Amino acid sequence: MTAHLRQEAIRQISATDPRTKSDRASNLTSSDRLPDTFGLYVFDDAVQRDRLPTDVYIALRGVIESGVKLEESIAGEVARAMKDWAIGHGATHYTHWFQPMTGSTAEKHDSFLEPSGNGQAILKFSGSQLVQGEPDASSFPSGGLRATFEARGYTAWDPTSPAFVRKGPGGGTLTIPTAFCSWRGEALDKKTPLLRSCEAVSKASVRILNLIGETDVKRVNAQAGCEQEYFLVDREFYKLRPDLIACNRTVFGAAPYKGQEFDDHYFGNISPRVLEFMQDLEHELWLLGVPAKTRHNEVAPGQFELAPIYQGISVSVDQNMLTMEVLREVAARHGMAALMHEKPFAGLNGSGKHLNFSVATDTGRNLFDPGQTPHKNLSFILFLTAFIRGCDKHQDILRASIASAGNDHRLGANEAPPAILSLFLGSQLEGVVKALIDGTVTTPRGVETVRLGVDALPNLPKDVSDRNRTSPMAFTGNKFEFRALGSEQSAAYPATFLNLILAESLDYLSDKIERLGGFTDGNAQTVVSACLRQHSRILFSGDNYTAEWTAEAKERGLLNRPTTPEALQDWAMSSNVELFEKYGVFSRSEAESRFHVQNETYANKIKVEARACLDIADTMVLPAAVSYQLRAAEAAEKVKDLLGADAVAPQLENLAHITERISIARNASHLLREEVSQVESLDQGDAEAATIFCEQVVPVMGDLRAAIDALEITVDDDLWPLPKYREMLFVL
Ligand code: ADP
Ligand code: MG
């Protein structure tokens, strides 16, 4: 009997529950030590200033802050300082840390050890080792960018993202954030396009600001904060769920009697065990310079959220990747598994990631901040208009950037934004947009003409009540919150596209204003007004979860792409490729490669899930159901023997019931097996495979799930091999 393993798991969990211990570890980071803890393992500005010769320090800051090209001569000095500092923190190795198109990060460690000739060794780390690495790239997805015979790929140091030391059980590793490209210089990663898009948005922003007279601005930086949702389950349960291990989600599982209907978990009291984990997690993140700020319980039982303080967008994306890694590690240390999947448990809220986005000048002004003066309002209105236009015009790539097998469970499932992109501004700002379109405002003195750059906008308070939790993209006071990202995905593509759509739209506005003869308040007004009129269909403040909205969005001509293969279809479309190329974000081949990789990843994910379904159904669950069937048959026999044929009706009914359910499940499993083998034997491209998996395999997987979940509530509890939802979600 396998079910005793579940009982054993619960015993184990009880034995290690911190609630049963009186000597719980004291806080890892007391408030007085926090400032010292923060960034201790980061080669940050302070360390650089401290350890580098002044001229090298100044040169490096130039590279980091203004994108000046890195001189080879300073790399050697930086490498030496970095090595000495890292060794001081126990590092024995270094690694170029990069973000291949897999969606996770990759690293290959090399020790600092170098033979010195006489049987001795020294610790060495040169400028060229810092600047460039050459991992064997042949096994990373390249989407056709690189045949395996030309396997060489290069990692290149990204000085804008600080290096850090990660501690392992036997020493630390100096971890250097890098970009990853092929020997022809094509980007094989997610970071390079993001860095390019940062340049694009800076250039377009500076252009329009200069156009309206803000000539002191030389650079504009995109900034982001990624809120991260996740689930925790005890590791004892996790180990008994092959689906969680292979797919990060449960492919089967009947609903628990108590789900999230009481809304008692959201912002609820954090249990001591989870709190202890969170404290450990934050301590670890702080050491690595990740400014973890907020922690709370989320809507579903067993679900939580972490939010950092925002920073430069590329560092923020790197740190979100790091956060997910640290989350998994620290959870394991606490005997738990952190699940970042978008939908680990059917019937409960899934997990997302919110990308909070803004752009700020090098003088520190947030351009999405309405501001108090007419002048600041002018730039705000231009950036707002550009963002609205960008969202409307480029719905397709924004949608594509959040497409994944996991997110398909979430988007449009009444707990997450729909697959339709719309923009929520809040009632006041919508009023402003309307006034700009009409060219008039209603004031206490009557109807007046809007004069951009002359009138101050109404004071726009950051009104927390004016929120729309159903919106995929929401203005929240001084930033846009892209709320439709999947929890498990890298934020790199959405960040890249937000930069890109803003850059393109800002240029559009600049072009238009220039064509009218240059900047005047009137010209700006004309351009803004026409642009908003054309693109205001993207604005929506109602409930995004309703069927009425789906219908209305269709009338408005907004895109609705519910599945990943549909969402990806325009990624490499020629007008998008032109856009990518114009802004230097992706070359044609880079865009096409990503289209292939995203489709391939989708198809592979579904394939693995389908195999997990089949294996678990055929070798774990159906055998348990058959044991129960035998038990029911024996019971019927016994009752008949003891009490006679008249008394046996309930047992026979029970037997018939389980027999029927087994037969339904068997059929569903056969069907799924057939579908999978058919798809696997077809010779097709990635996009076609993704579509077939989506249209033919996913629905049959759903049928099998329904049949297995029906068995779960029929079979005797002591025979059921898989930890149940009621256990995984509540025994924590
Ligand atoms: P809310 O979701 O309620 O608006 P917060 O104000 O705490 O919550 O912000 C959520 C996230 O947005 C945090 O990661 C925060 O650092 C980030 N954030 C705040 N201001 C900005 C900004 N100007 N640009 C980008 N991200 C920001
Ligand atoms: Mg938020």
Q: What is the 3-state secondary structure (H, E, C) of 550-568?
A: HHHHHHHCCCCCCCHHHHH
Which atom of ligand 1 lies at the shortest distance from residue 360's CA? 23
Tell me the CA–centroid distance for residue 225 and ligand 1, in Å: 6
Tell me the CA–centroid distance for residue 299 and ligand 2, in Å: 13
Mean pLDDT to the nearest integer, 13-25: 59
Ligand 1: residue whose CA is nearest its atom 17: 225
> For residue 505, what pLDDT is reported?
98
Reply yes or no on whether the pLDDT at 602 is more than 70.
yes
Tell me the CA–centroid distance for residue 415 and ligand 1, in Å: 21
SS3 state at 342:
coil
Q: Is 310 in the pocket of ligand 1 (CB under 6 A)?
A: yes
Q: What is the pLDDT of residues 67-97, one digit of tens each?
A: 777 787 889 999 999 999 999 999 999 999 9
Reply yes or no on whether the pLDDT at 625 is more than 60.
yes
Reply yes or no on whether the pLDDT at 459 is more than 90.
no
Reply yes or no on whether the pLDDT at 589 is more than 50.
yes
Average pLDDT, whole number, for the chain? 90
Q: What is the pLDDT of residues 509-540, one digit of tens each?
A: 999 999 999 999 889 999 999 999 999 999 99
Specify the range with the lowest mean pLDDT, choosing from 131-135, 156-160, 563-567, 711-715: 131-135
Which atom of ligand 1 lies at the shortest distance from residue 366's CA? 23
18's tokens:
């911190």
pLDDT exceeding 70 applies to what percent of the chain?
92
Q: Is 132 in the pocket of ligand 1 (CB under 6 A)?
A: no
38-189: CATH number: 3.10.20.70
Instruction: Give the ligand at the shortest distance from the Cα of 464.
Output: 1
Specify the range with the lowest mean pLDDT, choosing from 57-61, 69-73, 351-355, 717-721: 69-73
> For residue 730, what pLDDT is reported?
83
> For residue 24, what pLDDT is reported?
45
Inter-CA distances, 131 with 105, 113, 314, 496, Å: 18, 18, 18, 24
SS3 state at 717:
helix
Q: What is the pLDDT of residues 542-561, one digit of tens each?
A: 999 899 999 999 999 999 99
Specify the range with the lowest mean pLDDT, choosing from 367-376, 421-430, 491-500: 367-376
Q: Round to whole Å and give the CA distance between 92 and 87.
A: 7
Specify the range with the lowest mean pLDDT, choosing from 35-44, 127-136, 561-570, 580-589: 127-136
State pTM to two decimals.
Answer: 0.94
Q: Is 352 in the pocket of ligand 1 (CB under 6 A)?
A: no
Tell me the CA–centroid distance for residue 435 and ligand 1, in Å: 28
| CB within 8 Å of 200: residues ≥ 6 apart | 499, 500, 503, 583, 584, 585
Least Cα distance to 33 among 367, 204, 287 occurs for: 287
> For residue 19, what pLDDT is reported?
54
Confidence of residue 165 (pLDDT cuts 50, 70, 90): very high
Reply yes or no on whether the pLDDT at 435 is more than 90.
no
Provide DSSP, 614-647: HHHIIIIIHHHHHHHHHHHHHHHHHHHHHH-GGG
Tell me the CA–centroid distance for residue 427 and ligand 2, in Å: 18
Ligand 1: residue whose CA is nearest its atom 11: 225
Q: Is 369 in the pocket of ligand 1 (CB under 6 A)?
A: no
Tell me the CA–centroid distance for residue 567 and ligand 1, in Å: 27
Q: What is the CA radius of gyration of the chain?
A: 28
> For residue 440, what pLDDT is reported?
75
Are 690 and 589 in contact by the 8 Å Cβ rule? The answer is no
> If 0-12 CB within 10 Å is exposed, 13-18 middle and 19+ buried, where does residue 21 land?
exposed
> For residue 458, what pLDDT is reported?
61
> For residue 456, what pLDDT is reported?
60
Tell me the CA–centroid distance for residue 229 and ligand 2, in Å: 11
What's 648's DSSP letter? G
Q: Is 564 in the pocket of ligand 1 (CB under 6 A)?
A: no
Inter-CA distances, 665 with 14, 143, 250, 553, 661, Å: 35, 38, 17, 39, 6
> For residue 22, what pLDDT is reported?
44
Which atom of ligand 1 lies at the shortest distance from residue 368's CA? 23
Are 100 and 189 in contact by the 8 Å Cβ rule? The answer is yes
Tell me the CA–centroid distance for residue 265 and ligand 1, in Å: 22
Provide DSSP, 71-108: PHHHHHHHHHHHHHHHHHTTEEEEEEEB-BTTSS-B--
Tell me the CA–centroid distance for residue 356 and ligand 2, in Å: 7
Are 707 and 665 in contact by the 8 Å Cβ rule? The answer is yes
Instruction: Give the ligand at the shortest distance from the Cα of 224.
Output: 1
Q: Is 224 in the pocket of ligand 1 (CB under 6 A)?
A: yes
Please calculate the CA angle 321-497-580 and round it to the nearest 5 degrees.
120
681 vs 334 pLDDT, higher one: 334
Tell me the CA–centroid distance for residue 468 and ligand 2, in Å: 10
> For residue 31, what pLDDT is reported?
65
Q: Is 356 in the pocket of ligand 1 (CB under 6 A)?
A: yes
Confidence of residue 464 (pLDDT cuts 50, 70, 90): very low
Please state whether 443 falls in left (phi above 0), alpha (psi between -120 and 50) or beta.
beta
Q: Is 366 in the pocket of ligand 1 (CB under 6 A)?
A: yes
Confidence of residue 29 (pLDDT cuts 50, 70, 90): low
Instruction: Give the ligand at the shortest distance from the Cα of 226.
Output: 1
Reply yes or no on whether the pLDDT at 568 is more than 70.
yes
Q: Is 478 in the pocket of ligand 1 (CB under 6 A)?
A: yes
Reply yes or no on whether the pLDDT at 17 is more than 70.
no
Which atom of ligand 1 lies at the shortest distance from residue 294's CA? 7
Q: Is 308 in the pocket of ligand 1 (CB under 6 A)?
A: yes
> For residue 137, what pLDDT is reported?
66
Q: What is the pLDDT of residues 244-269, one digit of tens each?
A: 999 999 999 999 887 777 677 777 78
Are 166 and 472 in contact by the 8 Å Cβ rule? The answer is no
> For residue 7, what pLDDT is reported?
80
Provide DSSP, 566-622: HHHTTTT-HHHHHHHHHTTS--HHHHHHHHHHHHHHHHHHHHHHHHHHHHHIIIIIH
> For residue 563, what pLDDT is reported?
94
Specify the range with the lowest mean pLDDT, choosing from 324-328, 445-449, 579-583: 445-449
Tell me the CA–centroid distance for residue 306 and ligand 2, in Å: 10
Q: Is 75 in the pocket of ligand 1 (CB under 6 A)?
A: no
108 vs 42 pLDDT, higher one: 42
CATH 1.20.120.1560 assigned to domain 600-728? The reply is yes
**Domain boundaries along the sequence of the chain:** 1-26+228-351, 38-189, 194-225+366-582, 600-728
Q: Is 225 in the pocket of ligand 1 (CB under 6 A)?
A: yes
Ligand 1: residue whose CA is nearest its atom 1: 476
Tell me the CA–centroid distance for residue 226 and ligand 1, in Å: 8
Which atom of ligand 1 lies at the shortest distance from residue 308's CA? 14
Inter-CA distances, 726 with 17, 358, 617, 628, 698, Å: 18, 41, 20, 21, 25
Beta strands in 362-407 (DSSP E): none
- Helix count and strand count (H, E) for the chain: 26, 19
Reply yes or no on whether the pLDDT at 147 is more than 70.
no
Which atom of ligand 1 lies at the shortest distance from residue 477's CA? 4
Q: Round to whole Å and give the CA distance between 56 and 216.
A: 27
Reply yes or no on whether the pLDDT at 148 is more than 90.
no
Reply yes or no on whether the pLDDT at 577 is more than 90.
yes
Tell me the CA–centroid distance for residue 26 and ligand 2, in Å: 30
Whether 600-728 and 38-189 are alike in CATH topology: the answer is: no
Q: What is the pLDDT of residues 292-302, one digit of tens each?
A: 998 888 888 89
> For residue 295, what pLDDT is reported?
87
Q: Which of 479, 481, 499 to mutate to test the pocket of ligand 1 (most atoms within 8 A of CB)?
A: 479
